[in-house]
Structure 1
Amino acid sequence: DLAVSGWQIAKSVLIFLGIPLLAGFLTRRLGERGKGRAWYETRFLPKIGPVALYGLLFTIVILFALQGDQITSRPLDVARIAVPLLVYFGLMWAGSYALGKTIGLTYERTTTLAFTAAGNNFELAIAVAIATFGATSGQALAGVVGPLIEVPVLVALVYVSLALRHRFTTTEVPA
């Protein structure tokens, strides 16, 4: 049985999406008002941008440290998580890529569309799973396995994208 309230999950989503959204809004408003847009975009953003990456990398290292034993001792569970993810990434990427090409988008826009559709928000999924079920739960394991599958699959799809680049014309159909 799953004894989790909808409010508990909603609260986690509000915290993990709301706080960064509010922080981004406030830094933009205060930064642009105080020192101007040029300063904000050329000085502030380049300095603060890597902090998010460092935080994500730190979180992933900690989670892999906590989940490493489960990943290596439960390969069938990892495979049961990984196979549907492989299918999902492939179908979402290929479907979006085909759609972009069909409606006449440029290579750049089609590729952006395909990777946006295929990329998941595992950061949020991991945060909600940990907040709801704990860092060493099976649900957190699923959240940790996701990026293990997502990253190599999307890197491979970059090469597929590059190989398909020659199939595009250089002009975009107006909307």
Structure 2
Amino acid sequence: MSIFERYLTLWVAICIVVGVAAGHFFPGVFQSIGSLEFAQVNLPMAVLIWLMIIPMLVRIDFMSLSQVGAYWRGIGVTVFINWAIKPFSMALLGWLFIGWLFRPLLPEAQIDSYIAGLIILAAAPCTAMVFVWSNLVRGEPHFTLSQVALNDAIMVVAFAPIVGLLLGLSAITVPWDTLLLSVGLYILVPVIAAQVYRRWLLSHGGIDAMNRVLAVLQPISIASLLVTLVMLFGFQGEQIIAQPTVILLLAVPILIQVYFNSGLAYLLNRVSGEQHCVAGPSALIGASNFFELAVAAAIALFGFNSGAALATVVGVLVEVPVMLSVVWIVNRTKGWYDKGDAVRRNTEARATP
């Protein structure tokens, strides 16, 4: 394990402090970076995400994707969590905490808008960042890629109806340009680039050359994650300092939702007998959010300065630190997971000729 990975939590904490401070003292710099966008998709962030996930995608042999059907339990669990549990549990948590428990501490006029933002956030499952989390738990890369592709396909048809149902709207405006551009930039472009580079490496130096290159790229991938974190907190530095109480209160249902959904997915995979290398990314995919789409949808529906937009931004702020804690839990509990009766039975069955 590299020094980046060994002390990742420390680097993340430093990046959060640096990002908030930089956003507060140099807001013009971050406003300039934030303006480099198209259809609510920030282009510098897209480049950083490419640097994060391309080294992970280079490891994937697309010829092996035909075997992903062996992980049908993990796929079923993740789809169930993402689309049957997550948006509805967030609606309940939003009503419980924002609409009731924390109501006296929040601006009354924004209560419904805050809850709407939380629902929008939960209805958009994560895409690109999942590759980072999966890599940190040594997840099965073919499962992760196929699950992300399936989620993207479902999102195209299910995002608007689910959000519309939970918000009580007869029709909602889905930022299709943001959705399609995000899928293209964060999934299609890096996948194609990684596979072209993989074939070139294998044809010019074989597997040894590819491993040497990946050893160099891995620290770049982690460094890109840390720079992304500085930028995310830098973009919202003013908001964090101006409204710390509101942000902390909005973070409570988001945190509960992340741990609830990731824990439920992890347990369901264990009960079903799925391998740990699938259960890990399944839990992480079930808990994380596609914040680019969520922020864009909240702005399109409620406006840039709305409570809904702020609620989705809070999701952005807690995403990396919280998901790293889930990564830590998944890695530390592997021994316990593998002792599950169903897991052991299926492992023995796979080992039997």
Shorter-chain TM-score above 0.5: yes
Q: What CA distance in whole angstroms lies between the structure 2 residues aligned with 1:4 and 1:104?
A: 38
Deviation sequence 1:48-91 (CA, Å, 0-9, x none): 12222211211211221231231232234423542232222222
Q: Are the equivalent residues in 1 in contact too, given 2:258–2:287 (CA < 8 A)?
A: yes
Does structure 1 residue 157 correspond to structure 2 residue 334? no
Query: Among residues 302, 310, 318, which one is paired with 1:145 in the alignment?
Result: 318
Residue 172 of structure 1 aligns to a residue whose secondary structure is: helix
Task: Using the aligned pairs only, state the percent identity.
Answer: 20
Q: Describe the shift of the 1:162–1:111 C-alpha distance in structure 2 as closer, same or farther (beyond 3 A).
A: same
Q: 1:44 aligns with which of 203, 206, 213?
A: 213
Task: Measure, in 1, the Cα distance between the counterparts of 2:174 and 2:285.
Answer: 29
Matching of residue 72 in structure 1 with residue 227 in structure 2? no
Q: Which runs of 5+ in 1 are unaligned?
A: none
Structural mapping, 1:6-85, within 5 Å:
6-40=176-210, 42-85=211-254
Counterpart Cα distance in 1 of 2:294 and 2:255: 22
**Greater relative contact order (CA < 8 Å, ≥ 6 in sequence):** 2
Find the counterpart in structure 1 of residue 27 from structure 2. Answer: none
Q: Quote the Cα distance in structure 1 between the aligned partners of 2:186 and 2:338.
A: 41
Partners of 1:75 and 1:118 lie apart in 2 by 28
Runs of 4+ in 1 over 6 A off after TM superposition: none
Instruction: Give the residue type in structure 2 aligned to 1:112.
Output: G
Query: 2:262, 2:331 → 1: CA distance?
Result: 13
Q: Which runs of 5+ in 2 are unaligned?
A: 1-171, 300-304
Partner of 2:345: helix, strand, or coil?
Answer: coil
RMSD: 3.7
Q: Report if the CA contact (8 A) 2:232-2:317 is conserved.
A: yes
Q: Structure 2 length as normaliser, TM-score? A: 0.38
Residue 125 of structure 1 corresponds to which residue in structure 2?
A: 291
Structure 1 segment 106-117 matched on structure 2, within 5 A: 108-109=276-277, 112=280, 115-117=283-285
Alignment coverage as a number of residue pairs: 166
Deviation sequence 1:24-46 (CA, Å, 0-9, x none): 11111111112112321x21111
- SS state at 2:344 partner: coil
